[in-house]
Structure 1
């Protein structure tokens, strides 16, 4: 009986939590074979509505038409992994946005080496915008950079559009933080002291709230709107912020949608 008492005394001295929290340390002996998500993009749609995943897969694959196909997987509710099979396909999609499904904009990001897709912040979207009502002499890249950094973060100046005769607007690409309201206009001052208000339109702009200007929801889910709907509320944003959309029909099934283990995939 004594020996069992001795065992009990030993067990009392063990702390299983300390053992579990004592970490293994791996050094040079751990071989990491590159970034497994090198050809992947993680994304989410700016909507509180449920996404029809199957319809979304077909729509996005058909719009992108990647030469080597794309596999789309839902990692967790609302978070999607887009796996490409060629670097140029992925680069084209990242550069060509913003993209949307069912009028909900897609926020996308590459996945840093060593990071899990679910942990990548998804708060920014790159978008082309048109700055209208600029006075003569203001259609320059210098002005575009200042305006771009006001509306968001300046990324690119469309010199081809902005240098053409009879141009009606300046076209610039900006990086927008979806946690902030869309900006609609900006006052600029000419050398003679005359002030001019320039307006803007956003290309491929999906659904957003006309009450608070946020991209993350519509009025149906806007707390500001719902709190003041009985008293009446002035809407300071509207559909006039959208540049004319371009629409195309979508077939029932996309030839560019690829299954994950389909090594014999061909576009046909």
Structure 2
């Protein structure tokens, strides 16, 4: 097996050499997560939407959160995050709240349109 400093040998060989140099006690080894044990999360984000306020005027994001909470009257928590001045991903905690917010519009914030669309959480929100 090649030493870590040598140029010959595969990358896996180098990793094996480095791992063999570790002196982990049993209690330390239990907390170590090996790559083979980690599963790729295949869970798709549920009840996620992207919202854009069509205004050039500045506003406090907590004002839109409060106005939409009042308009939607959600049964469960709704989490907002600000991406840029007028763009927000919104995570709903239940399907009923998500359906109401995404299908029962149009919604307005300070007489400006609030456009909403289903969002998968992976695509560029812009």
Please indicate the TM-score interval, normalised by the length of the shorter structure: 0.5 to 0.7
Deviation track 1:190-233 (CA, whole Å, cap 9, x = no partner) reads: xxxxxxxxxxxxxxxxxxxxxxxxxxxxxxxxxxxxxxxxxxxx
Pairing 1:61–2:94 present: no
Cα shift at 1:71: 1.8
CA separation of 1:97 and 1:79: change in aligned 2, threshold 3 A: same
Q: Give the distance between the partners of 1:97 and 1:72, measured in 2 at CA.
A: 18
Task: Provide the residue aligned with 1:89 in structure 2.
Answer: 97
Which structure has the highest helix share of the two? 2
**Aligned-residue RMSD, C-alpha:** 2.0
Larger Rg: 1
Q: 5+ unaligned residues in a row in structure 1: which ranges?
A: 1-28, 120-268
> 1:102/1:113 Cα in 2 relative to 1: closer, same or farther (>3 Å)?
closer
Q: 1:22-41 alignment to 2 at 5 Å?
A: 31-36=40-45, 38-41=46-49
Q: How does 1:89-168 map to 2 (within 5 A)?
A: 89-112=97-120, 114-116=122-124, 118-119=125-126
Q: TM-score, normalised by structure 2?
A: 0.62
CA drift of 1:68 comes to 0.9
Could you report, residue by residue, the CA deviation over 1:102-130 in whole angstroms, capped at 9, with x for unpaired residues?
001011111136424x24xxxxxxxxxxx
The alpha-carbon deviation at position 76 of structure 1 amounts to 2.1
